[in-house]
Amino acid sequence: MDLFTLQMENKLKTTAPLPERMRPKSLEDFVGQEHFIGENQFINRMVKSGRLRSMLFYGPPGVGKTTLAYIIAQAMDHNFIELSAVTSGVKDLREALKKAEEDLKIRGRQTILFIDEIHRFNKGQQDALLPYVEQGKILFIGATTENPYFEVNKALVSRCQILNFHELGEEDLKKLALRALEKDQVLKDFQASLDPQALDFLVSHSNKDARVMLAALEMAVLTTTKKGDQLVLTKDDISQSMMEKPILYDKGSTDHYDTISAFIKSLRGSDPDAALYWMAKMVVAGEDPKFIARRMVIFASEDIGNADPMALVLATSTFKAVEVIGLPECRINLGQCASYLACAEKSNRAYQGINAAMDFVKSHPTAGIPMYLRDPHNPRVQGEKEEGYKYPHQYPDAFVQQDYLPEGFQDLVFYKPSDRGYEKKIQERQAKRWDGKKDWEE
């Protein structure tokens, strides 16, 4: 290391951002991900045995994916080459692969090639890695915030161990914040501390991202005036040192599908507060309101059905209102509809009914239409059993028992009304009409 490099590194110990200064150097210092970092877990066992395999790190930002790659390389005493799929092209990738191959051939030293945001590489770039990974010329670690099973080539996925990084918990983040105040070369000179409310606020508004939290903490320490000998940071100090918390939501990402899933499941679970929360997240993040409205129209029939027929009417009206009004006002229509759907009686019997009927049709494609149900203008019908049809309006209550299903399948029951909401009335009416002819028992 030359004098200028040494001087630069010494300078960075105090001028680099706090998240960089606090980057852990060993597995013992790493916070979170105990399911594969902990004692006798996958990473720990792999490092101790000295046997490494290619991996894909999958998880949200700020949970330590890049840091863990550094730690593994240092613990294994391997070369480490880092590329970002956002800024690197084919030329950079080829140069890195060539250097790794030469180091292995000439010096006998293995190289860990770490590629951040690997999902942003196109198929050709990802394919270029395959022979090097397969032959063991490199140890590959890719990091991605997107589901690798969707965004990374299947051939590359099959050659890697996928490690699912979890969001950092509140205790993990508090541990990192207090460690920074105690051990960072810059912050410890301020003798700073956080009052309980400030610590809770810092953690809850960091979006579970350690980088966001540490950056806000550093800003608060450096810009807050001391009162007395010690610097005690308050909730207001932290609040004024943070930008608006970013919302992790990309309309083409996994989080998009996770959020709409949470929204639908909250509606189904009859929790209007949770439903409004997930809807608000989508609206604030810029989701197309028509997408949300469409999903509610589907939900109204799939999960509410005839337990509350008004649900579909309101949902389709909401979709029309969203089309006509647009944001920001249509959020009011969306909120009304979501709260109604969440509180409505639930039944998926109509949904089950059409699915069962379609399954039966596919398995019995030749079931015939009884003659008396066919179009009377059909030449095949005339003179046959046209007279067999009983016109319901000629009977009391406009109902008469007759077979409407294909011959041989008259006892089929696809729709079984529940005993909830309006569907209970349907159940009672149908039971009276058919008087035991149809069996609705589960």
- Residue 1 pLDDT: 46
Asked if residue 243 has pLDDT above 80, the reply is: no
Q: What average pLDDT does the structure give for the chain?
A: 85
Count: domains in the chain: 4
Same domain, 107 and 55: yes
Within 10 angstroms of residue 189's Cβ, the number of other Cβ atoms is 10
State the pTM of this model: 0.60
The larger pLDDT score, comparing residue 319 to residue 326, is at 319
Strands (E), 117-178: 139-144, 161-164
Cα angle 22, 210, 58; round to 5: 110
pLDDT band at 263 (very low <50, low <70, confident <90, very high): very high
pLDDT band at 287 (very low <50, low <70, confident <90, very high): confident
What's the rounded Cα separation, in Å, for the pair 350 and 348?
6
Find the CATH number of the domain harbouring 294.
1.20.272.10
Same domain, 39 and 155: yes
Q: Mean pLDDT throughout 169-186?
A: 89
Same domain, 289 and 334: yes
- Residue 6 pLDDT: 47
Same domain, 57 and 119: yes
Asked if residue 440 has pLDDT above 80, the reply is: no
Distances (CA, A) of 28 to 32, 84, 170, 226, 409: 11, 27, 19, 34, 68
Q: Where a domain ends, among 111, 143, 164?
A: 164
Find the CATH number of the domain harbouring 408.
1.10.3710
- Residue 187 pLDDT: 87
Same domain, 39 and 159: yes
- Residue 12 pLDDT: 46
Find the CATH number of the domain harbouring 66.
3.40.50.300
In a domain, 25, yes or no: no
Same domain, 181 and 107: no
pLDDT > 70 in the chain, percent: 90
pLDDT band at 370 (very low <50, low <70, confident <90, very high): confident
In a domain, 21, yes or no: no
Can you give the residue range of the structural domain that contains 415?
A: 364-434
Asked if residue 3 has pLDDT above 50, the reply is: no
- Ramachandran area for residue 16 (φ above 0: left; ψ -120 to 50: alpha; else beta): beta
In a domain, 15, yes or no: no
DSSP state of 302: I
Q: Mean pLDDT throughout 214-240?
A: 86
Same domain, 106 and 160: yes
Find the CATH number of the domain harbouring 223.
1.10.8.60
Interhelix angle 330-343/310-325, rounded to 10 degrees, is: 170
In a domain, 149, yes or no: yes
